[in-house]
Structure 1
């Protein structure tokens, strides 16, 4: 399926085209025939000119029939062997009500997983406030329409959003008696029309399932990493922590904290633990099936590719039980999400497990479009 569906068929000339008559002997009939042939030639030239102009506009991006993604989110959460569920999550397939921007024309979706540690207050705070901060800072449709680089606007929006959310939580945490020591990872997927922006702190992850044609003519799944993990054993992360005066022992900051970037963790901010997310983008195509967002509880017992294939097998088998109000596809994705989280616990993960599964479909909408590839922001 082509992302840019073809243009409308060229407009046909008014009235039926008269079939060519047999050659007649009278001068009047000959004149009439020549007139009809000339009319047909003019109509043909008109069609060719219209097609040429349409092709030219399509090349310039002036006329596009874009297939925009239709996203639906499913969530499954398991406490595992922990005494408390410290994960939090948000599913907003349509953020338009939160954005409240006049003239807003884009479809904006938001999905996020927050994996708390040393308590659940940081993860819950981020789940409650981060998308509201994002909505307040999100560039208006007018500004995005006039901008030569929308990515720069959204990058700044995401960086500012994470910084404010962290600052707000640290301020609240330090005002408590005793001060809160909670922290949280954050993996947020923001979809603007057909462009996915992923902001990640810590060791939760986001992966995309894309179907591609193989050499034997069959379609195979390809797993694309949409996020980068942050832990103190990574060279750049360790160097930043050491430059800030911190140390890394047993793969942890000061021998305690497993992640090198987070929201909260006020006692480690002086040691180089920061709240600046890694930012990536990826344009969705009609070959994309779903996105998995999950905390590290899932990926302790599943590789990214194993998780994608696990979901794909359930969706393709169609073994889910029918439920009122849900389509067959929705039943399969719901079943896949629940079974993936349960399987992580069955495989021995003692940690909290939260999985968000986002199905991807497409619908047509007339628009201009740009072609961006999967990449990391500079």
Structure 2
């Protein structure tokens, strides 16, 4: 079983064509076969055997641009093969690859927001271009850590604000500090623990109030570890990657996240198994999302804080990552949103955009 929800990645070859690699599996590293699943669509593969597949202010958005390349000597990371695991030589393999990877793409975040007709802005965002010092990762394996996130609150502002203030702090505390056998598995476990801990902290605080807080929030986070993006999300906020296709000379909008709503089969089954029900496309006829931070009154009905986690490798053809609440996508398609941002950043980028790559899977 493929442990990772990898997203389309170009082969290690001169002048890769992003469109082709987005439509079919490609080599992650030169010596490894294609992953068994490259799903970026509505299904999503299992992250771990014991976890289920990952299946609202409304107008905040965050764009992270992939900028100039910064050189770092002798540092990087590598995904291991099963043979390496059996032989206990994963750490040695990673250190070998560290010497081969010497270019890290610079990242810089920007934000735009509008509360619309609401009395208060219930969305929140976090832009941390570089938290390497705070995370103190093993220097032999990781040279840069960045974090970007959007939170779409509902029922009040407290859950989204709490998540914006605390989720990255919990992530920093849980980030691997010493030598690790597998960077990818460790980072993903760190993200799972971080979301669980943040949700538990908020629910504890919310339940202690009189009356108890009923706020909830979506969460879409991008953790950049060197040139690898880990996208963790709950709910219906989204992450979209703009990637340039050299062959077609167009830009593609690639979905990096999966929306969670109670109408999806896996989500509905989990809710019903927990004793809840779905009416009018909502949990108990009220809540629009099936995964969130907060929403304590729905957690006993199958709503969960277990995020969908996916992995994407940055390439020289990547322009920016868009993180946005669902309100943006009620007005713009992903292609229109990407095209608009391109026209703002670089007029020459915005001439053409191809349809998003669609990769089907469970």
- Give TM-score scaled by structure 1 length: 0.65
Structure 2: unaligned runs, 5 residues or longer: 1-10, 15-92, 351-357
**Match in the other structure for 1:168:** 201
Structure-2 change in CA distance of 1:102 and 1:197 (3 Å): closer
Q: Deviations over 1:310-331 (max 9, x none)?
A: 111222228xxxxxxxxxx9xx
**Which deviations, in whole Å up to 9, do the C-alpha atoms of 1:110-154 show, x marking residues without a partner?**
0000000000000000000000100111112x423xx1x321111
SS of alignment partner, residue 237 of structure 1:
helix
The residue number in structure 1 matching 2:229 is: 196
Counterparts of residues 305-320 of structure 1 (less than 5 Å):
305-317=335-347
* 2:157 equivalent among 97, 120, 124: 120
Q: Where does 1:93-104 land on structure 2 (aligned, <5 Å)?
A: 93-100=129-136, 103=139
SS at match of 1:78: coil
119-128 or 307-316, larger mean C-alpha shift:
307-316
Deviation per residue, 1:270-303 (Å, 9 max, x gap): 1000000000000000010000000111011111
Change (3 A) 1:286 1:3: farther
SS in 1 for 2:214: coil
Aligned partner of 2:5 in structure 1 is none
RMSD: 2.8
Question: Is the alpha carbon distance of 1:62 and 1:283 closer, same or farther for their aligned partners in structure 2, counting shifts above 3 Å?
Answer: closer
* Equivalent residue for 2:317, pick from 260, 278, 287: 287
| Equivalent residue for 1:71, pick from 107, 110, 116 | 107
The aligned residue for residue 301 of structure 1 is: 331
**1-side partners of 2:225 and 2:112: how far apart?**
25
1:264 aligns with 2:294: yes
The Cα shift of 1:241 comes to 0.5
CA deviations 1:206-259 (Å, max 9, x no partner) are 010010123xxx511111111000001111101110111101111100000000
Instruction: State which structure, 1 or 2, has the greater radius of gyration over its C-alpha atoms.
Output: 1
- Looking at structure 2, the residues matched to 101 and 260 of structure 1 have their Cα atoms a distance apart, in angstroms, of 33
* Structure 1 position 230 matched with structure 2 position 267: no
Scaled by the length of structure 2, what TM-score is found? Answer: 0.68
Matches within 5 A, 1:1-378: 61=97, 63-100=99-136, 103=139, 105-140=142-177, 142-144=178-180, 147=181, 149-214=182-247, 218-317=248-347
Measured in 2, the distance between the counterparts of 1:117 and 1:250 equals 18
Higher helix fraction: Structure 1 or Structure 2? 1
5+ residue gaps, structure 1, are 6-56, 319-328, 333-373
Distance 1:102 1:192, change over 3 A: closer
Q: Structure 1 65/166 Cα, relative in aligned 2: closer, same or farther at 3 Å?
A: closer
Deviation of 1:155 (Å): 1.1
What is the Cα deviation at residue 375 of structure 1? 10
Deviation, 1:97, is 3.8
- 2:222 and 2:230 in contact (8 A); partners too: yes
